[in-house]
Chain A
Amino acid sequence: MESSPLVYVIDDDISVRESVADLLATVGLEVRLFSSATEMIEVLAKNADKAAALPSCLILDIRMPGVGGLEAQERLAKLQVYIPIVFMTAHGDIAMTVKAMKSGAHNFLSKPFRDQDMLDAVRSAMIHDRIRRESERGRRELRERYESLTAHERKLLSMVTGGLMNKQIAAKLNLSEITIKVHRGQLMRKMKANTLVELVKMEARLPKSDR
């Protein structure tokens, strides 16, 4: 069971910052406040390895002294941090909105916003983040399993998922069919695959570079 979802609120204005935190607290979200984007990026960069400590959503003001919201978004992308962002602005224009959405902003709210709109935006961002995290975790586990295979087992994997029968593999590797069967069982165990179909699916999800 994971700890309760974390939300970062970044706004140079204390009224906005605190009121948003209060609003999010009413639905039981854990909130961390930042008065500048630079501060937030530093913290994120430090915690990047520890997946659990990362927030599931950023609420970011567009117009701030120093680094503004859009620039912060660019910097995070460079750090390969892909946390959904909900932007806030007091005078949003179309061009700005388009730019933010193109760069992958999750939502865009004009100040002053309705409380429900903010909560909906945060909730949807968190769902988005959970899906992203789960698929990322799955990929990571799969890679760990794959990395535990020996060179022989990896070769065997590609041959099995390539559709070769035990007999054919044995002939190719110049080994007995029994030996192949034993190795194949070991492979299935290591990859935590119950059926051949599962193994094939896993193989397809592996990054090409790893194969």
Chain B
Amino acid sequence: MTGNGHRTQLLEMVQASQQLSRDTNETEVVATFLKSAISMAKVNRARLIGNDGGKMLVECEARRSHNDEIVVSHGRRPVESEGLFRNVFDTVSLTYMPVFLGTSSSERAQVWVNPQPDGIDSPMLCVPLLSSDESKEMLCLDTHSDSIPLDWSLISHLNILSAQAAVKRENLRLRARIALENRTIEEVEVALCANKKELAHMQRMSQTGSWRWRADTDLLEASSEFFRIYEIPCERHIQSAKLINLTHPDDLPLVRIALVKAIAARRVFKLEFRIVVGFGEIKYVQVEGHPQTDDTEDLQYIGVTVDVTERRNAENALQAARAELARAHRLSTMGEMAASIVHEVYQPLTGIITNAEACLRWLSKSPEETTRARDSARRVARDARRAADVFRGLRAVASNSGITKVPVDLDDAIREVAFLLQGELDRANIRLRLQTAVAKPVLGDRTQIQQVLENLIRNSMDALLPVVGTQKSLIVNSTSHDSMFAMVTVQDNGCGFGEHSAEELFDALFTTKPNGMGMGLKVCRSIVEAHGGLLQAERCEEETVFRFTLPYLDGTSVNDVRS
């Protein structure tokens, strides 16, 4: 029986192996395995019993029917005797040895057997199932009778088969997991794609491009909106130099300095500047970059670039409208003033002319009415003096009338003017440097002092307008001139006042500007002089310097003596 039985078992095993390789799911694998076990062991029932978290369950059962067919029933159900099966299970999984549960004592010598088992209707062979992970299952075969000797070759064949089934099951399980993972990956990819599209859309709407810059390669990865703003074709990586080259030449020096400084300090930077794109179109962009500090030494920045052209243009238009309004207001005020001056001057002038005519008429009478002529001539002189007084009054209005001298924090007044002009300075790409160091208050009219400052700064801004290539610099400096006077200096590297002498500048109606009135500096000087100070201009090398002095509050008595 051994030789023949062995061959039969081998044949069965080959068939089972073949069947296993064809099986496409776990149920089939288990069924094939159980069927093969029944026919190899020539038993009536084979069960796959698993330990599901401490609970013993029949996972699958195969039974030989009376017409010798093998029927497999899936579906888990509890075992008939929990305690017994757990013991057996623990034993087989510990020893990896089969256990025979007999019904008589004759078999007890052959294998390790529990005390007489209860609750089983036939003797049973329990074989541990091998699998890649720790065994959680065992195969239980109902033997025909207690007398059946334990066939070691059968057991090893079953072991081989079970190993094969385990591999197959594992295989299937892995395959299922891969399929599941693939599905998940696909879903994630779809979601990611949608996200990306949404992000691109959002970026398009907010005109915000995002980017990442690596210091080691000096390359930039950027979103499509970024490329759209710069109006250059999308690339995977772009040299930062290419982008820097698109910066407006006037803004370039400042941008370069700011970037170098921020990167050197690994600081956040936030800049607004102009870029020249396409065929010379100018756009305003706002760029913000944050350093990414990770463990590696390589420095990276991530950031956004926002196209703020529309907003800037709107702001500029608003500013222009405001300036226009202010100019119109100034002109109308000037018109009114001119009208009243004309009236004031024409009255005595009419008197002079008419009196002179009357005087001539008295003299041309015969006889001459000399007494009346003299009266007329006297009135001519009187009215002429009146006319002169009108002009003197006007000059007083322009210089020191209406001055209310109070203590003024000069540095604060300077900062306020700088703040008011900041927008215009930014637009003109001029960097205003303030160096304020006046500790004591000066005595004067804050508004008029600020008027002088604004006028001087505006002059400098106008002078800086034609400057290209070099950094436009404007420095306002306040310091102590001596114990009596504070001194304010406004210095620029603009086009200056050419060949004219510094004193000519202060003549009324002198101007170097195409639409200047030539009154600004004249008025400035009269204001400063009304305060007891001096206003002077100087040209040294590339710099134009205007400086004026104002008396300190505690130096006034001395100043009064001087004036």
Contact = CB atoms under 8 A, between A and B. Distances in A.
Please determine whether chains A and B interact with each other in the same assembly: yes
A19 interface: yes
Given A15-B386, A22-B358, A22-B372, A91 B343 contact: yes
Q: A15, A18, A118: which has the most chain B beta carbons within 10 Å?
A: A15
Contact of A16 (B354, B357, B361): B354
A63 B347 CA distance: 11
B227 interface: no
User: DSSP majority for the A interface?
Assistant: helix
A159 B277 CA distance: 104
A14 B347 CA distance: 9
Given A15-B379, A16-B347, A16-B351, A23 B358 contact: yes
B358 A115 contact: yes
Nearest to A19: B354
Interface in B326-366: 339, 342-343, 346-355, 357-358, 361-362, 365
Interface in A140-173: none
Q: B342, B346, B350, B358: which has the most chain A beta carbons within 10 Å?
A: B350
B346 A112 contact: yes
Interface string B370-410: 00100110010011001000000000000000000000000
A79 interface: no
A180 B26 CA distance: 159
B361 A20 contact: no
Contact of B347 (A25, A90, A115): A90
Nearest to A116: B357
B343 A23 contact: no
A108 B486 CA distance: 58
A91 B339 contact: yes
Interface string A60-99: 0001000000000000000000000000101100000000
Given A26-B361, A91-B342, A115-B357, A19 B379 contact: yes
A23 B346 contact: no
B347 A13 contact: yes
B343 A19 contact: no
A63 B361 contact: no
Q: B342, B343, B375: which has the most chain A beta carbons within 10 Å?
A: B343
B357 A23 contact: yes
Interface string A111-150: 1111100100000000000000000000000000000000
Contacts of B348: 13, 15
Given A15-B383, A22-B376, A111 B358 contact: no
Nearest to B375: A22
Interface residues of A, number: 22
Interface in A51-65: 63
A16 B346 CA distance: 9
Contact of B343 (A22, A27, A90, A115): A90
A111 B347 contact: yes
Contacts of B355: 15, 18-19, 22-23
B251 to A, nearest CB: 51
Nearest to A14: B351
A95 to B, nearest CB: 14
Given A25-B372, A26-B358, A15 B339 contact: no
A14 B362 CA distance: 20
B343 A112 contact: no
Contacts of B386: 15
Interface string A23-65: 1011100000000000000000000000000000000000100
Given A22-B379, A91-B342, A15 B347 contact: yes
Given A26-B361, A26-B362, A20 B346 contact: no
A15 B350 contact: yes
A20 B354 contact: yes
Contacts of B346: 90-91, 111-112
Contacts of A90: 342-343, 346-347, 350
A27 B362 CA distance: 9
Contacts of B354: 16, 19-20, 22-23, 112-113, 115, 118
Nearest to A21: B358
A27 B383 CA distance: 22
A188 to B, nearest CB: 52
Contacts of B361: 23, 26-27, 115
A7 B338 CA distance: 33
Contacts of B362: 26
B354 to A, nearest CB: 4
Contacts of A63: 343
Contacts of A22: 354-355, 358, 372, 375-376, 379
Contacts of B383: 15, 19
A183 B346 CA distance: 68
Interface string A100-117: 000000000001111100
Nearest to B349: A112
5 contacts: A15-B347, A15-B350, A20-B354, A25-B372, A115-B361
Closest 5 CB pairs of A and B: A15-B351, A115-B357, A19-B354, A90-B346, A26-B361
